[in-house]
Amino acid sequence: MPPVDIYPVNEIFESLQGEASFTGTPSVFIRLQGCPVGCPWCDAKHTWKMVPERAISVAAMRLKEASPCDSYAWYGVQTLADIVRAADAEHVVITGGEPCIYDLRPLITKLEAWHHRVQVETSGTYVPLVTPSTFLTVSPKYAMPGGRPVLDEALWRANELKCAIGKQRDVGIVLEKLDPIHQARDIPIWLQPLSLSSRATDICIRAAQHYGWRVSLQTHKLINVR
């Protein structure tokens, strides 16, 4: 495994956080490469594999097109921090891929020292190596093709739980596995309709009304930004 102070980055960009608690917040997104979870509906499948031949230089990354691509570059903590510091947004979202494959503490510690708020988005299938003040968004991925279990260490560290909903039975999983954490820790559960379909959206709305949860509508897709 590479040293913990460098990370494989698929892309870095500024946009609005479109999901859950920080919806509408200007953010710098750091998308890391690598994910063994294998969600069938994933909209970032180009980040799954770490193919050595697809590694490029940091200089080449600056010329990379915005469209999805499986190339990536290894960035050191200081280089990433300098890029974030030069951006307008103070909120930083580390996503993937599955960012919790990596020890994120060196990067987050540096960013927090420069007064950035850091949010990490994870599937909950790895122990999150983050700082105490990291805002952790866990989107639990149960029974995915990759076969990795969702870990209690991730669920009980979460600051919010965000759940992809496509069918009514998905609501049952949330009720069984996640609502006890919501009740015990008073953290929000967000239901996110798959593909923004009208049927899934209706399921989310009805469940949120009944159980006291919330609905996340992927605002960035609705307003056509990244």
Q: pLDDT, tens digit, for every residue of 137-155? A: 999 999 999 999 999 999 9
Q: Look at residue 34 and tell me whether its pLDDT is greater than 60.
A: yes
Pairing type for strands 6-17 and 91-95 reads unpaired
**8: which strand partners?**
74
Q: Annotated binding site for S-adenosyl-L-methionine: which residue ranges?
A: 97, 139-141
Q: Annotated binding site for substrate: which residue ranges?
A: 16-18, 31, 95
Domain parsing of the chain, residue ranges: 6-222
pLDDT of residue 138: 99
pLDDT of residue 185: 94
The residues, ordered by sequence, that sit 6+ positions from 117 with a Cβ below 8 Å of its Cβ are 90, 91, 92, 135
Q: Annotated binding site for Mg(2+): which residue ranges?
A: 71
Mean of the pLDDT values across residues 35-58? 95
DSSP readout, 82-98? HHHHHSS--EEEEESS-
User: Is 6-222 in CATH node 3.90.1150.10?
Assistant: no
Q: What is the pLDDT of residues 104-140, one digit of tens each?
A: 999 999 999 999 999 999 999 999 999 999 999 999 9
Q: Look at residue 1 and tell me whether its pLDDT is greater than 70.
A: no
pLDDT of residue 64: 83
Residues 119/109, Cβ–Cβ less than 8 Å: no
In 10 A of CB 187, how many CB atoms? 18
Q: Annotated binding site for [4Fe-4S] cluster: which residue ranges?
A: 35, 39, 69
